[in-house]
Chain A
Amino acid sequence: MTQGSLAPAESPALSPGPISGPQPANLGDILERSAETWCVRSGRPA
């Protein structure tokens, strides 16, 4: 089984490394963006 995200084929090969830049403020910020369906179904976050 696989899961992932999409990018143009011409993009450079990716190797997981340290993440730069500001981090999200909280889990809610991530979930409302990446798991909206779950948030709606579960009645969360608000």
Chain B
Amino acid sequence: MRAVRTAGLTAFVGDVDRLEFGAAPLRRNLEDLDWLDRTARAHHAVIEAIAERCPVVPMRLATVYASDEGVAGMLRQRAPDLRETLSRLRARREWGVKAFAAEPADMSGTPGDPHAGRVTAATGPGATYLQRRRAQLTAAEYGRQQAMAGARAVHAELGRLAVSGRLYPPQAPELAGQPGRMLLNAAYLVADARAETFAAAIAGLTARHRSVRLVVTGPWPAYSFVGEQQAEAQR
């Protein structure tokens, strides 16, 4: 990596091979999961290392300029916007919070479940089966509603503690690598001074909302909050 400095800003850049990052090969490579995994993690590692030292505006993965002069021109052109963004992100980090619908075993004994153990005596095996099946479906629907309510409560409370919040689409199960349906996939911009409060709130929410299982990532560099449209006014 090396630094390109102009207009009071520094861009950290690295050389890449045109045979790998030219328009046509890049299109192919972006469909190659192994290449994408390797490249995305390397890109993230650099941004993470910079973020440990100072505010950073992450560039989109595989942002390619033909020369250092091109990078410097971009810095000059976007200087006011970049300075404003860097100032806004100073001493703030991004936390990722996902909520998954809890497995039934995780919810056993959940207070207030009106359907728990409600299979009463029935006449005949057919009636017993139908009654049990109806109770299972009702309990499943109750669990689904509880989980949705739990996810909404998590987002509402964490949103109040954060400077800003952003929702991502739920990840597909094979990508999420977690059991259960993902109900919330959110990023929160949190002031470093409130990080402990934020973490404590997550612990409290985990204890109070057993209908959802929370998975926390980060803190991240503030990837999700670099755009102008992510201004604090949009909380």
* A interface residues (Cβ-Cβ under 8 A, vs B): 1-17, 19-22, 24-38, 42, 44-46
Contact = CB atoms under 8 A, between A and B. Distances in A.
A34 B10 contact: no
A46 B98 CA distance: 14
B37 A14 contact: no
B176 to A, nearest CB: 7
B40 interface: yes
B50 A5 contact: yes
B54 A11 contact: yes
Contacts of A1: 15-18, 21-22, 64-66
B53 A46 contact: no
23 contacts: A1-B16, A1-B22, A1-B65, A2-B15, A2-B16, A2-B70, A2-B71, A3-B43, A4-B14, A5-B57, A5-B58, A6-B59, A9-B10, A11-B54, A15-B1, A16-B45, A24-B44, A27-B36, A28-B171, A30-B41, A33-B223, A35-B30, A38-B30
Interface in B206-232: 215, 217-220, 223-224
Contact of A4 (B8, B11, B52, B169): B11
Nearest to B87: A8
Contacts of A33: 58, 187, 220, 223-224
Contact of B56 (A5, A16, A36): A5
Contact of B3 (A14, A37, A45): A14
A1 B63 CA distance: 10
